[in-house]
Amino acid sequence: MNKASHGLGRGLDALIKTTAVEKKADGQIEDLPLDHIRANEHQPRTAFDETALQELSNSVRQYGVLQPVLVRRVEKGYELIAGERRFRAAGLAGLKKIPAIVCNYDAAQVTEVALIENLQRQDLNAIEEAKAYAHLLADFGQTQESLSKKVGRSRSHIANFLRLLNLPEKIQQHLVDGTLLMGQAKPLLALSLPALQLTAAEYIIEHQLSARRVEDLVKRLQKNPALLNKKETASEEKPRELFVAEAEDRLKMLFGTRVKIYPGKKKSRIEIEYYTPEDLDRIIETLTVKRQELVAQKKDILRQVSQKFTV
């Protein structure tokens, strides 16, 4: 998916246009030897899907590299700026050269362009993105304000990703592997103890909690840090998490409004919110239609049963 149209800073096209681009005298893109190009050691993306890379390699072998990579001149050859997947695929395909545009970028611009390229393609996991922001802030004197303008992300977005680097390494690895999502990991920052964060993370993965349920779990852990250490936790939490919460979600989808279930020992109640008289009419109509459907289903079942026993 191309996110260039969603305001990602100046974007790659703008960055290329505002920086002097060196080309041959005839104005053509250069074909550079692959072994003269080295990878960017500050490339934000560190995880590459081997299957997808092999598929791209097959395409490159058949059609060649259709979009040039970006490089800059260094002391010995060239350093890759953008297009590492194409660069790797070309090597796998056995190509000796690759089309390239040579740009006059400094080290900070190299990292910016590599970050923007991956953000536009949604290729970075949360930790890769966070580390790229941290690198630009720490090593190139960027502020969150200036970085926000360059990459087209809000300051709060950048701050939230940077905070993920405060989580234990094991939780960060879960984010890299995809076993935890950003929405599941972010609430864990509210827990002060790393050990409790790890325990909660394992529980979240095991029970596949949604982000909303994670927030609820974190609130309860703040009140009772020993909650997940109880032997009865699994038997107590599972019905609530898997039955009541799922029932709330189903009713919310049905009525198109907030629904809350309050289970009790002797009696329970369901709250269905509405905001206007028209809202209430719509909810009542939904209940009426559903009741009519259930009655019709029961009649159909009874009719089928009676037919089986008719002599």
Q: What residues act catalytically? A: 84
What residue has token string 């400094």? Answer: 106
Instruction: Read off the amino acid at residue 162.
Output: L
- Would you call 277 exposed, middle or buried from its count of C-beta atoms within 10 A (0-12, 13-18, 19+)? exposed
Residues 6+ apart with CB under 8 A from 57: 88, 89, 90, 92, 93
Q: Which residues pair with 270 in a beta bridge?
A: 261
- Residue 270, SS3 per DSSP: strand
- Would you call 40 exposed, middle or buried from its count of C-beta atoms within 10 A (0-12, 13-18, 19+)? buried
Residue 209 has a CB neighbour count (10 Å cut-off) of 20
Tokens of 69: 């990579």
